[in-house]
Structure formats: structure tokens, C-alpha cells
């Protein structure tokens, strides 16, 4: 033991016993004789001002411990069962700092409450809880976490803590809490569900407005997706993709539109919609709704740059040429038609080759014009038939007259 002789005023000397024998001197060094650094005493306690070195004669900190073995500092509580101790230092085996509690004791950092806990039994770390069930648990939970949960974030402020707000776990041995799926991420998911849930649980009900992945299917707003991606909501659009780098930040909207009772696929800010498969196969212009197939610059409601294969085309049109059969319709004589063809090299009222190349042709309008020509041709045929009928009648009359003359022996004029 160290007995320190302290001289006070006068010649009286008091002896104080300190735990370890440091020296055999009967008196403390200089500070008790008027110096400012060294050992001090108030006749009950002894303390040192300045830097203290253990294992070093040149301490660089208030307490500087130096040695060639570990641990460098050991604090033992002999009043606890097994006399557990705390070790601190540098560990040469791990090439790292060592901070160890023996006998499986926990580490607890206390600042009026236990702010941080490290369990000695399994190494779990808890923030805001003294009994973490995950490698890292933040906040308290009223449920037991599955084996090998990596991260769990609980609830606070009076919210029910039945399920973790966030849980990242690795299922082992087909853990029933995960349905046998490995590497499962849970956000606000209760145990027993075979799903990955991202979102918040509202009102204690089902997982509304959440992202759920279950057995390879992903659901947004539904906990039971039946497709690779299923989005469910009571408002539209369901999906909105915005490009903030474009002027006006235009968006693509996809969903079901209640007002039109139809699917919605819309580009905002008057932008075009283009379907690309190595080239722009289908284009819908945003300014007028024109649709182009094989072209990005349709000039009408539907423009196709290529061949159309179909079983039937129905054209609705006005101005059908029944007017050809009206009594007042002027049917051009064939001599007039022949003169027009000789001069212009196409039928009257039919566009020329040059016009078709420049402007194209309207299928409905051309069908009507061709029908008009057929009707005109039919009228000409009727006129020819009428003339033929009259000629046949006249021919019969002449044949009968010749027969009567021959019967009387009169030679008809030839």
C-alpha cells in the first residue's frame, strides 16, 4: 500500500493510505509545498493535476497507457458474480481496438436512459431498447423477431409496436415467418406474411398505398398481386412518369380513366406518344391526335406508310352518287366523253395520275366517283338497249312486209 505523508500548517503530519505502493517517501512531491502541478490532497482525498502516464514516462494525454500486451486497461467488479471485468485496448490478433465485457455481460451506454445497448450473448445492438432481437434494432417491439433478423426499426410516440416498421431478415431452414424465402426485406410487415412490404400500414387495416412483393409478383396498393406488377388505386392516373429535364416537365400518365370509362395513356404538355421497336412503329401526335404507322408525321387522323392487309374496310361517306339517276342529270354523250379522253387522257371527274401522286386519293371519294362512272355507263347501256329494241322491232316489221309482198308475187325492192 502507498502511505502518503501530508504536511499541513505547523509541523503536524497526517498519513493517507492509497491502494498501490508507489513509493516509500514519507512526503508528497512539490505541489504540496506550493507548486501548481503534481499530487494534491484535501486531507481526505489525493489527486493528480497534469498528465498521467502508465508504462510511459512521456504521457501525451491526461491519461496515457502504453504496453506490449493486451488488454491495456482492465476494470473488474469483484462484487458481481464471477467478477466480470471490462477490457479496453488494442488487439493485435484482430488488428483493431478492443472493447470487451467478459462473462457474457452487455454493454450499455447511459445518458439518463439506456441510449445504446450491445448484448454480450449474441452481439445484437439496440438503440432505444435494452433487448434487441436483431443485429441492429432501433426502438422497442412487442413481438419476437425471427432468427437472423438483420435490421428492425420499431415504432414510437404511442403507435402500436406489434410489428416492426422496418425489418430486414435472412430466412434460414425455411423459416415459416418468411414462407421459405431467403433474403426478405420487410417494411412495416407483421410476422407470418410471405411478402416483401414497402410502405406504411394505415389504421390497423390492410397494407394500403404500399409496395408489396410476394412470390415474384409486385403490388402497389395491393397485398395480393396476381401479375408481375399490379397497381391498384381508387384515383387516376395510377402511374405517372415525369421528365424534369425537359421544358415544362412533361409527364406520361397510365391508368384507367373513370370519366371516359376507358384505359388512359396520355402524354402531357402536348407531347407525342411514340412506340419504338428499332424504328418508330406507331406515333400519336400530341397537338392533334393524328396517328401514324410507319411515319412520325401523319397528315390525317390515320396515316400508314406501307401496305395494309385486312379482310374488310367499311367507309362511311356523304354525297353518294345516286344523283346520276335523277331526271335532271345531264349524261354526257359518248362523243363528248371520247373528246375529253382524247384531250386529257383520263375520264371526266376522275383525278389524273399527277394529281394522285401529289395529293393522294380519298378511298371514299374515289369509290363514289367510280360508282358514278358505273352508273353513267349503265345509263348509256340502257340507251343502247332501247335503240336496239327499236331497231329489232323495225326489222321485224320490214321482214313481215317483205313476206306479204312475196306472197302476192311482187318482187320487193332490194
Instruction: For residue range 116-173, list pLDDT tens digits in order.
Output: 888 888 889 988 888 888 888 888 776 677 667 777 776 544 334 455 555 655 444 3
Query: Average pLDDT, stretch 3-14?
Result: 42
H or E, element range at 85: strand 85-91
Q: d(Cα 3, Cα 101) in Å, to the nearest integer?
A: 33
Predicted pLDDT of residue 413 = 67
Predicted pLDDT of residue 117 = 87
Instruction: Give CA separation, 222 vs 50, 203, 257, in Å.
Output: 67, 15, 19
Q: Which of 196, 217, 199 is nearest to 207 (CA)?
A: 199
DSSP 3-state assignment of 161?
A: coil
What percent of the chain stands above pLDDT 90?
21
Of residues 27 and 320, more confidence is placed in: 320
Cis-peptide, bond into residue 374, ω within 30° of zero: no
Contact 44, 33 (CB under 8 A): no
What are 345-391's pLDDT values in tens digits?
A: 999 999 999 999 998 888 888 999 999 999 999 999 999 999 999 99
Q: d(Cα 298, Cα 304) in Å, to the nearest integer?
A: 8
Of residues 240 and 168, more confidence is placed in: 240
Of residues 220 and 164, more confidence is placed in: 220
Does 179 have pLDDT greater than 80?
Answer: no
- Per-chain mean pLDDT for the chain: 75
Residues in the chain: 414
Query: Average pLDDT, stretch 101-125?
Result: 83
Query: Average pLDDT, stretch 5-24?
Result: 42
Backbone φ/ψ region at 311: left (φ over 0), alpha (ψ -120 to 50), beta: alpha
Q: d(Cα 109, Cα 126) in Å, to the nearest integer?
A: 10
Q: Which of 212, 207, 168 is nearest to 194 (CA)?
A: 212
Q: d(Cα 382, Cα 390) in Å, to the nearest integer?
A: 12
Q: Which residues of 154-179 are buried (b: 16+ CB within 10 A; e: fewer)?
A: bbeeeeeeebbbbbbbebeeebebbe
The residue to which cell 373528246 is assigned? 339
Confidence of residue 14 (pLDDT cuts 50, 70, 90): very low
CB atoms within 10 A of CB 105: 17
Backbone φ/ψ region at 118: left (φ over 0), alpha (ψ -120 to 50), beta: beta
Backbone φ/ψ region at 223: left (φ over 0), alpha (ψ -120 to 50), beta: alpha
Query: Average pLDDT, stretch 66-92?
Result: 82
Confidence of residue 210 (pLDDT cuts 50, 70, 90): low
Q: Which of 121, 122, 123, 116 is nearest to 139 (CA)?
A: 116
Q: Which of 260, 244, 242, 262 is nearest to 252 (CA)?
A: 242
Predicted pLDDT of residue 169 = 53
Predicted pLDDT of residue 166 = 58
Torsion angle, alpha carbons of 218, 220, 222, 227, to 10: -40
Confidence (pTM) = 0.42
Cell of 58: 512521456
Looking from the CA of 344 toward its CB, the CA atoms found within 13 Å total 16
H or E, element range at 136: strand 136-138
In terms of C-beta density within 10 A (0-12 exposed, 13-18 middle, 19 or more buried), how is residue 15 classed?
exposed
DSSP assignments along 168-200, one per residue: EE---SS-GGGTT-SSEEEES--TT--SEEES-
Instruction: Give CA separation, 23 vs 1, 17, 41, 45, 223, in Å.
Output: 9, 12, 17, 17, 76
Q: d(Cα 259, Cα 100) in Å, to the nearest integer?
A: 67
Predicted pLDDT of residue 386 = 94
Task: Name the strands in the sheet holding 85-91, side by side, starting at the edge strand that comes first in the sequence.
Answer: 73-76, 85-91, 96-101
| 86-90, 221-225, 288-292, range with greatest mean pLDDT | 288-292
Amino acid at each position: 500500500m502507498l502511505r502518503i505523508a501530508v504536511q499541513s500548517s505547523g509541523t503536524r503530519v497526517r498519513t493517507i493510505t492509497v491502494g498501490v505502493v508507489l513509493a516509500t517517501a514519507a512526503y508528497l512531491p512539490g505541489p504540496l509545498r506550493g507548486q501548481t502541478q503534481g499530487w494534491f490532497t484535501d486531507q481526505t482525498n489525493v489527486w493528480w493535476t497534469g498528465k498521467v502516464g502508465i508504462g510511459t514516462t512521456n504521457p501525451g494525454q491526461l491519461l496515457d497507457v502504453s504496453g506490449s500486451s493486451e488488454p491495456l486497461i482492465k476494470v473488474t467488479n469483484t462484487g458481481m458474480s464471477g467478477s466480470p471485468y471490462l477490457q479496453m485496448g488494442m488487439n493485435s490478433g484482430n488488428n483493431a481496438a478492443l472493447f470487451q465485457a467478459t462473462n457474457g455481460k452487455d454493454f450499455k451506454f447511459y445518458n439518463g436512459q439506456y441510449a445504446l445497448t450491445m448484448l454480450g450473448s449474441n452481439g445484437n445492438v439496440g438503440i432505444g431498447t435494452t433487448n434487441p432481437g436483431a443485429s441492429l434494432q432501433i426502438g422497442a417491439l412487442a413481438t419476437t423477431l425471427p432468427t437472423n433478423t438483420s435490421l428492425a426499426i420499431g415504432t414510437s410516440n404511442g403507435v402500436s409496436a406489434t410489428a416492426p416498421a422496418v425489418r430486414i431478415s435472412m430466412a434460414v431452414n425455411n423459416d415459416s415467418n418468411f414462407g421459405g424465402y431467403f433474403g426478405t426485406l420487410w417494411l412495416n410487415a407483421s410476422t407470418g406474411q410471405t411478402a416483401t412490404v414497402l410502405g406504411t400500414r394505415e389504421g390497423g387495416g390492410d397494407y394500403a398505398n404500399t409496395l408489396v412483393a410476394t412470390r415474384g409478383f409486385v403490388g402497389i396498393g395491393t397485398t395480393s398481386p396476381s401479375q408481375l406488377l399490379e397497381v391498384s388505386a381508387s384515383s387516376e392516373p395510377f402511374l405517372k412518369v415525369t421528365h424534369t429535364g425537359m421544358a415544362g416537365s412533361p409527364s406520361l400518365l397510365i391508368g384507367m380513366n373513370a370519366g371516359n370509362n376507358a384505359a388512359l395513356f396520355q402524354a402531357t404538355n402536348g407531347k407525342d406518344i411514340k412506340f419504338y421497336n428499332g424504328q418508330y412503329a406507331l406515333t400519336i401526335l400530341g397537338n392533334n391526335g393524328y396517328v401514324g404507322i410507319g411515319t412520325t408525321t401523319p397528315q390525317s387522323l390515320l396515316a400508314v406508310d406501307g401496305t395494309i392487309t385486312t379482310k374488310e374496310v367499311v367507309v362511311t361517306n356523304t354525297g353518294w352518287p345516286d344523283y346520276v339517276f335523277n331526271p335532271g342529270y345531264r349524261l354526257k354523250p359518248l362523243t363528248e366523253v371520247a373528246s375529253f379522253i382524247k384531250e386529257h387522257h383520263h375520264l371526266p371527274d376522275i383525278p389524273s395520275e399527277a394529281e394522285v401522286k401529289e395529293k393522294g386519293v380519298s378511298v371514299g371519294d374515289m369509290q363514289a366517283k367510280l360508282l358514278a362512272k358505273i352508273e353513267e355507263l349503265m345509263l348509256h347501256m340502257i340507251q343502247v338497249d332501247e335503240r336496239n329494241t327499236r331497231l329489232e322491232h323495225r326489222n321485224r316489221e320490214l321482214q313481215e312486209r317483205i313476206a306479204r309482198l312475196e306472197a302476192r308475187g311482187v318482187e320487193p325492192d332490194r
